[in-house]
Amino acid sequence: MKKIFLDLGTHYGQGLKQFIQMYNIDKSWDIHTFEANPVTYKYFVNLNKNLIENLNLKHYNLAISHIDGEIAINMETPPNEPSTGMGSSIITLDKWNPWNDALRDNFKTSEIVKSINLSRFLDENFKKEDFILIKMDIEGAEYDVLEEMERNNTLQFVNDLYVEMHSHFFSNKQEMKEREKNIIQKIKDNNINFHLWH
């Protein structure tokens, strides 16, 4: 049995460091970090050289999705900052509406990035006997990703799951809240140790 930690939406590694402490993660764990924003990814690598060198850590500049391929990421650029905003998302801007339009002006640039199907990644790389811990903060993409995992029975691979849900950032909030409710129920039906992340 392997111990696996998937940090999905790693940003600068803030959550990664929290989970290392929470779960006493050491070299016996396989760590995979994913950051879609190419600017943020470079910052992550530069800021975390010590962790990368001292842990069994693989880092990917890939968007977590329900499909393999290429997708546009809308990059949040707060005033007087580089394009490393925490709200960067692969959700189209007609639906992605953080803080009720208050941050709309922060989304001025987009880039095409590679995406990876998380359900396939789990199925091809791990076994249900492994202990798999996931932190998922992927700015709205969690709905499609988790529904795909449920359809493909790869939710069953996961032991502990921490997810930041973003229904309040969508223009169609009520629809997303219903999806959120259904997804959380499916997660619980699969006997996963589930926590809402912040």
| Spatial CB neighbours of 116, under 8 Å, sequence gap ≥ 6 | 34, 60, 62, 63, 64, 65, 68
Residue 118: is its pLDDT beyond 90?
A: yes
Residue 77: is its pLDDT beyond 90?
A: no
Query: Which residue's entry shows tokens 């189209």?
Result: 92
Strands across the sheet containing 193-196: 57-60, 29-34, 3-8, 131-136, 160-163, 193-196
pLDDT computed for residue 135 by the predictor: 98
* pLDDT band, very low/low/confident/very high, at 106 (cuts 50, 70, 90): confident
pLDDT computed for residue 53 by the predictor: 95
pLDDT computed for residue 103 by the predictor: 74
Pairing of strands 107-117, 63-65: parallel
pLDDT computed for residue 66 by the predictor: 97
Contact in structure between 117 and 66 (CB atoms under 8 Å): yes
pLDDT computed for residue 78 by the predictor: 81
pTM of model > 0.85 = yes
Averaged pLDDT of the chain:
94
pLDDT, mean of residues 126-133: 97
- Report the 10 Å Cβ neighbour count for 27: 10
* pLDDT band, very low/low/confident/very high, at 10 (cuts 50, 70, 90): very high
pLDDT, mean of residues 112-141: 97
* pLDDT band, very low/low/confident/very high, at 87 (cuts 50, 70, 90): confident
* pLDDT band, very low/low/confident/very high, at 9 (cuts 50, 70, 90): very high
* pLDDT band, very low/low/confident/very high, at 86 (cuts 50, 70, 90): confident
Complete domains list, the chain, with CATH: 3-64+117-196 (3.40.50.150)
